[in-house]
Amino acid sequence: MDFQKFVDDVALPCCVMSVKKKEDGTCGDINIVCSNASYKREMGQAYHDGMLYYELVPKDPKFESFVFRCAFMKKRLHAYVETSALDSWTDQVIIPLESDDENVGYCQFMFEFTKESDPTRMSDVSIANAKAVIQANIELQGSDVFEEGLSKALRDIMIMSEANACRVMLIDHVRKIAINFCEVLADSNMKLKYYSEGKDGVISYHDVNSWEEMLGLSNSIIVKEPSEFNRLAQYNPEWVSQITSYNVQSIILVPLKQDKKIIGYLYVTNFNSDKYVETKELVELMGFFLSTQISNHLMMNQLEALSKVDTLTDIYNRNEMSEMVKNLEGHPFGLINLDLNGLKAVNDTYGHTEGDKLLIKASNLLKSVFRKTDVYRAGGDEFMVILPNLPEELFFRKVETLKAAMEKDDSVSFAMGAIYSDGTRNTHDVFVRSDELMYEDKKRIYKERPDLIRKKV
């Protein structure tokens, strides 16, 4: 066959590759026999006919497996993948060609770059995989609890790939923790131990962080058989040793991204390697769509948290305090109304930066005595501590502990009105009385220290 004429008639960048079969039946050398002018322009001056493919682009076991499968199993293959090295997406089509040598196969390789991901190019997938992705999106959209919908989607992936586990791991670079966000297991004995802050386990922040280096320029990590774990061991031998001790013999792992930044990974273990191509397609396609769904879920959770938390002091704000107060009527609770002394003096004398430091130090002092979830910044220099369902004696012991903490650190001074309700008093009246007690205490403090000026923190 005149391969050169064959590629010259193709408008897209196109080449013909030869694939040698080793004596053991595995993939040998892959050479670029010839290419058309468009292909040569894209590849640049480094290209020449007959060269090994990895002399032109990084060696990729997944690509080799695809080309080998196409050349010898005579399967047309399509992939639409993110190409990190070129900051683009690559639409690839590989078509088998005839060969008169049983140990050498040929295939036609065509590609096209797109700057941004194009979902329409993902439509060339199996009906089963397309149906699974649609079903996953329906389950996520229709579920009141996001994690439940995600579990159903992961179970579908596990069943279709004939795997024994499917997981979503998230990574938090700020807190340096790995989060086992969701998992489904065919066998409860496959439940891996996780750790995020130094405790023993199989997957840690260090492990998940190393996966990005393992990915390199590829868009997935694929191990079809135990021997292939050796190439991953160069990046993180401890993780490879641990995960294989759980009899993990194969894995497909794809990154989940938000604005091109990796936020986590989707992966299956011990899948049916005979369905390698189909499973790779399924997991990569699911990863693409789940990235958006999970990113949106995390963003909504973050927005909800921001609506409840005072960003300066990292404690609950007035909105969340109002929600808590709605549930107090008819129940016993202790209330401490607090006003931070000297904040205005610090702001006027040293500036609001120093005032912010004082507010942070004041909130930290409160958090050292009470649970973070019991402390609220009501606004400005006003704080509240609400202790529901606490015995009266224990409540006033807590009040004394707070006073002792202020005496120990005189850089923070609160005027306070502490009051306890056994649940029979009107909640509004309790808050009014605590406010009166706080102002009485404030008058006493300023009478004793009329020239109170807060020093820089």
pLDDT tens for residues 225-244?
A: 888 888 888 888 888 888 88
User: At 35, which amino acid appears?
Assistant: S
Indicate the domain borders of the chain. Answer: 3-117, 125-306, 315-448
Task: Give the tokens for residue 181.
Answer: 């966000």
Q: What would the CATH number be for the domain defined by 3-117? A: 3.30.450.20
Q: What is the pLDDT of residue 438?
A: 95
pLDDT at 206: 87
> 3-class SS at 337?
strand
Q: With a cut of 70, list the residues of the chain below it in pLDDT.
A: 81-88, 115-131, 133-134, 137-138, 141-142, 188-202, 217, 303-306, 450-457
Task: Kindly indicate whether the domain formed by 315-448 is annotated with CATH number 3.40.190.10.
Answer: no
Tokens of 349: 């004398």
**Residues near 373 by Cβ (< 8 Å), separated by ≥ 6?**
316
Residue 202's pLDDT is 62
- The domains spanning 3-117 and 125-306 adopt the same CATH topology: yes
What is the pLDDT at residue 178?
Answer: 87
Give the model's pLDDT for residue 59: 82
CA–CA gap between residue 32 and residue 41 (Å, rounded): 15
pLDDT digits (tens, 9 = 90+) for 169-187: 999 887 788 888 999 988 7
Domain 125-306 class? alpha beta
Q: Which amino acid is at 137?
A: N
CA distance 210 to 230: 15
